[in-house]
Amino acid sequence: MSTIPGQAIRDVITEALTSAVRALGVDGELPDLELGRAKGPDRGDYASPAGLKLAKVLKQAPPAIAARLAETISIPQGAATVQAVGGYVNFRLTPEWLQRLVGAVSTKGPGYGASSIGGGERLQVEFASINPTGPLHIGHGRGTILGDSICRLLEFTGHNVHREYYVNSDNTQTKRFGASVYARLHGLEPPEGGYIGEYVTEIAEAARRDLPGIQNLPEEQAEPKLRVYAIQRVIEMISATVARLNIHYDEWFWESKVWEDGLAPAAIERLRESGYLKERDGATWFGPALEEEDGLGEQVLSEDEDRVVIRSNGQPTYFASDLGYLLSRFEVRKFNRVIEVWGADHHGYVPRMKSAVAALGYAPEKLVVILHQMVNLKEGAAGSAGKMSKRAGRFVTLDELIDRVGSDAVRYFYLLRSPDTTIEFDLELAVTQGNENPVYYAQYAHARLVNVEATATERHPQLPEKADLSLLVQPWELEVARQLAFWPEIAQDAAKLLEPHRVPYYVQDLATAVHRFYHAGNESSEHRVVVEDVNLTRARLELCRAARHTLKTALDLMGVSAPERM
RNA sequence: GCCCCGCUAGCUCAGUGGAUAGAGCAUCUGCCUUCUAAGCAGAGGGUCAAAGGUUCGAAUCCUUUGCGGGGCACCA
């Protein structure tokens, strides 16, 4: 078929509809024709309220317009039939086209739905850059999995993605962490506000071994060394934990680097020259000083309060590091855009960062911030309800969750929810629901297909080379093909909107179609994949392959495995 | 006080301004001698938090209110 498997059929139909509208004599800008999936089976597969949309322009009744469009339109390759109903134009994918699609998808193999719409754009995605002061807990799992899945979607749609973890190493929290390790090294309790977990003591003991003489140094000299050492240990832990979830960073970028390389001072200097910095109360502040004159006022003004860059004691704030980090990303490494995944508790920081990007001379849209809501521990879980706290030792670790329910179920669990919803987490419930996690439904569909394909080639060692796909006529067979048709647009929408949760919902639909298709063979043996007729078997085998590849592709985008047997 | 997110079936949640609002789980009823029953078929279940507004058309956009969560540092 000449339709490229990567191109969404929705886009093909939209183009045809647009041409038809032009043919009716509408010039100038068109209203959005809102072609989308039709709701009921009676309405076909896609529908557009084009008649309603054009009523004003054409000064005709919507049904009349829809009828003329249906008559005029020409769908490439007979992919769909067209019907006007009221002011709507409905489209139904034809069996012939669906049959050809099955062949194309099967031939293409894994990767059906991939596209190059990203044009190779160089992107950095920074996610889950948690203070490296302890193990990841279940709250961190959300941003981690969300960030990685966004990366997978972006890669699938033709972007050049760099996964990065920003390692805080010079801020207040990590200094407290260093001081806590120092205290443990000397058999003392951590200072007020320090870290009390057992891992702190273990790290201190390891440091005694790996850093000879460290215990003889005064705290001012020992703490920075211990801090770097401890952060490295924690990063090893974090790296191992996320690896269990199939997540691998390209780079662990240390905050200290922006000072070693002079990027933070350079950024501060640039802001000072442009007049965005001012001195007050002995500190240096970032603020919208020149908003009237430089045209960036709108962006810079988006933050209406001044923020401290250098404290009155001469110590820079984390914001100073972030300024240098922005230079590293946009100027030194020249990423075209940077996507950040943050918990909603940082949402107030967004305007400040956008302002900083603008003040440094870059378009604020280059910085995209994805916020996700919190994960709260449910009452009674882990001893106490509410927000988790590393310092207070009140949390369930991500490792424990993975131990209890497995990586696939964890990823699926988080990915099912839109980032906008708060998760009330109940570990016991998560464990008991582990077995009924919808991920197994999808994986089972995949395993079944693998199994039946093996059976087919076993029973019929000499199947025809080529499949006669016109034999795929049963409604449950065509329904699988129909679901396959939707995949490219699902993947593209999820990538464009940076919304991975669209993928598991699609997977659910595809798996349902697969199970029904399979089950038809249980109802009546003539509907099995493996039948006496080798040509029929061959055609159904082709459908199995197409569905299996697509299931695997979609599961891959979620970082979930596609087992061959269950 | 200001800012952000949420409120949709018993529960957990989907739902780019379009037609009759969906899924999973739970409940109830059926279906395994056969390619995997971690499956399939069917049933019940709704004031889309509330009130106004915009629109030919609103769960969706705007305003107000209520409830829940998260922010508003010389913490990150």
206-265 of chain A touching strand B, CB 7 A cut-off? none
Q: Is the CB of A384 under 7 A from strand B?
A: no
Torsion of CA A23, A26, A31, A34, to 10 degrees: -20
Backbone dihedral angles phi then psi of residue A62, each to the nearest 5 degrees: -50, -45
Alpha carbon distances (Å) from A88 to A65, A359, A412 = 9, 49, 37
Q: Is the CB of A520 under 7 A from strand B?
A: yes
Fold for domain A258-372?
Rossmann fold (3.40.50)
> Which pLDDT does position A381 carry in this prediction?
43
> Which pLDDT does position A5 carry in this prediction?
59
What DSSP letter does each residue of A240-299 carry, written as one string?
Answer: HHHHHTT---SEEEEHHHHHHTTHHHHHHHHHHHHT-EEEETTEEEE--TTTTTSS-HHH
Intervals of CATH 1.10.730.10 along chain A: 431-558
Q: Is the CB of A35 under 7 A from strand B?
A: yes
Alpha carbon distances (Å) from A532 to A190, A245, A525, A526, A536 = 75, 43, 10, 9, 8
Q: Is the CB of A416 under 7 A from strand B?
A: yes
| pLDDT in 10s for each residue of chain A, 566 residues | 444 556 899 999 999 999 999 999 888 888 889 999 998 778 899 999 999 999 988 999 999 999 999 999 999 999 999 999 999 999 999 999 999 999 999 999 889 999 999 999 999 999 999 999 999 999 999 999 999 999 999 999 999 999 999 999 999 999 999 999 999 999 999 998 899 889 999 999 999 999 999 999 999 999 999 999 999 999 999 999 999 999 999 999 999 999 999 999 999 999 999 888 988 889 999 986 444 444 444 444 455 678 899 999 999 999 999 999 999 999 999 999 999 999 999 998 998 999 899 999 999 999 999 999 999 877 544 434 455 655 555 678 999 999 989 999 999 999 999 999 998 887 777 777 777 889 999 999 999 999 999 999 999 999 999 999 999 999 999 999 999 999 999 999 999 999 999 999 999 999 999 999 999 999 999 999 999 999 999 999 999 999 999 999 999 999 999 999 98
> Which pLDDT does position A385 carry in this prediction?
45
> Which pLDDT does position A29 carry in this prediction?
84
Q: What whole-number distance in Å separates Cα of residue A112 and Cα of residue A554?
A: 9
Give the predicted TM-score (pTM) of the model.
Answer: 0.94
ipTM: 0.95
Q: What residues does A386 pair with on adjacent strands?
A: A377
For the segment(s) A431-558, the CATH number from 3.30.420.40, 2.30.40.10, 1.20.1560.10, 1.10.730.10 is 1.10.730.10
Intervals of CATH 3.40.50.620 along chain A: 258-372
> Which pLDDT does position A306 carry in this prediction?
84
Intervals of CATH 3.30.1360.70 along chain A: 9-93
Say how many C-beta atoms besides its own lie within 10 A of residue A543's C-beta. Answer: 28
**A101 contacts: CB under 8 Å, gap ≥ 6:** A1, A3, A5, A481, A484, A485, A546
Q: What whole-number distance in Å separates Cα of residue A155 and Cα of residue A13?
A: 26
Angle at A200 between CA A194 and CA A205, to 5 degrees: 135
Instruction: Give the CA A505 to C1' B46 distance in Å.
Output: 22
Question: Strand B nucleotides below 7 A of a protein CB?
Answer: 3-6, 12-26, 34-41, 56-57, 68-76
> Which pLDDT does position A257 carry in this prediction?
97
* Nearest nt to the A425 alpha carbon by C1': B12
Query: What CATH code would you report for A9-93?
Result: 3.30.1360.70
Decide: helix, strand or coil at residue A230.
helix
Instruction: Give the CA A515 to C1' B39 distance in Å.
Output: 7
- Residue written as token pair 């003004």: A301
